[in-house]
Amino acid sequence: MSVFKGLKPILYGGREVWPLIEGGKGVAASNHASSGAWAAAGGIGTVSAVNADSYDPTGKIVPQLYPQLTRRERHEQLIQYAIDGAVEQVRRAYEISNGQGAININVLWEMGGAQPVLEGVLEATRGMVTGVTCGAGMPYKLAEIAECFNVQYLPIVSSGRAFRALWKRAYHKVAHLMAAVVYEDPWLAGGHNGLSNAEDPRRPEDPYPRVKALRDIMRIEGVADSVPIIMAGGVWCLREWNDWIDNPELGAIAFQFGTRPLLTEESPIPQGWKDRLRTIEPGDVLLHKFSPTGFYSSAVHNPFLRSLEARSHRQVPYSKVAAGEHTVQLDVGVRGKNFWVTPTDLAHAREWAASGFETALRTPDDTVVFVSTEERDMIRKDQADCMGCLSHCGFSSWKDHDDYSTGRLADPRSFCIQKTLQDIAHGGDLDDNLMFAGHSAYRFKQDPFYSNNFTPTVKQLVERILTGD
């Protein structure tokens, strides 16, 4: 096998590995089978430590149930599930890797209980985990935690500005363990993305100048060019990144593959999800802001997301007293008379109510959205059943510290992300759940490598990537 453009191994965790990283994907979408096989192929496999699966003595997945009465109790149960699951996944991945490559774990800093989960997993897997990738927020404590357990850390950022803030506040104190910096393209990556308020979600920017700016900042801060920047988001094949490899402007570069490993023999996602990936067309992945994290995220634009779009469309602003253009009282969907709206919005509200969306739910932004009785009951149940899977949840108003409340009204325009990700990962309906994917997912249908329904093993995929294709 000829390696594309003389791609060279990098030294990571004391051994040489290919500069190819498996992206860690959410709840049970990256597990021991995929990450262990990726490491065994000589790369860096990544176990998702976000509420990973654990197993009973017979090998069956342990259902994550929450019978406790309070959110705080359910949150403690969630943390224990998360630690138990991630530890089991790491142990199995390490065994599969057979001493080759390396095993990382991935966590979202906005995950509920992220710090105790990370500490619990690293304590129980000493010597197995080489590094921790972490994004979705500003994980200042990541370096401190890595130092406690003597593991590498790889912060995930979407701009040089974000890296500078992390470096100056914390990372410069533990510079020797920062193995790489992951640049995650906020317009192309699947899952949660780091778009800032200054960036337009509808206008993607070329990643090259952004990554060069990141390297420039790293150089200013004294970070050696040998510390790789890992390009993540939109990476399909290395031929398309020819100008990035051995480029003195960028320094050392590695590549993260999040979407392609979904369609492998070892990928743990259900077969129906794998089959659906082969049908995706350009534009079928939507960058949206319905996530209860408050971050933008990318997922397949399926009926689940379309229902959330429709729900937000059925929305009107209101005032508690007559003011400005709010001159008429809302007389459908609400109780009481403290909802003043425009005459045009009153007409829309009456139309929605007549069409079966007869209940209006308040949002934190002084609006109401109109939903069916069935939707209302599901929303309220999901909010009541909250198990605190996020550090801050817009959907349920949960916060994982202090007084355990964000202090804002729960937002019915969002959804319970733990519920839907657990459901789709374990065989739930593909149309009724959130299906994360990167924006390059349409290429499964176009790439001849996958023709005739071919599904590669992870080893075959890594070998294919190494040739440049």
pTM: 0.94
> Three-state SS across 188-212?
CCCEEECCCCCCCCCCCCCHHHHHH
Cα 125 to Cα 83, 383, 435, 452: the distances in Å are 11, 34, 30, 41
* C-beta of residue 272 within 8 angstroms of C-beta of residue 408: no
Tokens coding 306 = 């379309």
Structural domain boundaries in the chain: 4-283+443-466, 303-425
DSSP code, position 62: P
Name residue, tokens 């003595």. 57
Tell me the residue type at 402: D
pLDDT of residue 337: 80
- 205-255: per-residue pLDDT in tens? 999 999 999 999 999 999 999 999 999 999 999 999 999 999 999 999 999
What pLDDT was estimated at residue 197? 80
pLDDT of residue 417: 96
pLDDT along the chain (469 residues), means of 10: 84 94 88 97 95 93 93 96 96 96 94 95 97 88 96 95 95 96 94 85 93 97 96 96 95 96 96 97 95 94 97 97 95 91 97 97 97 97 96 96 94 96 95 95 97 97 96
Report how far residue 316's alpha carbon sits from residue 325's, in angstroms, rounded to the nearest whole number.
Answer: 13
Tell whether domain 4-283+443-466 is in CATH 1.10.8.60: no
Q: What's the pLDDT at 148?
A: 96
pLDDT attached to residue 5: 81
Among the listed residues 273, 267, 266, 229, the one whose alpha carbon sits nearest the alpha carbon of residue 251: 229
- Asked whether the beta carbons of 339 and 318 are under 8 A apart, the reply is yes
User: Residue 136: what pLDDT?
Assistant: 80
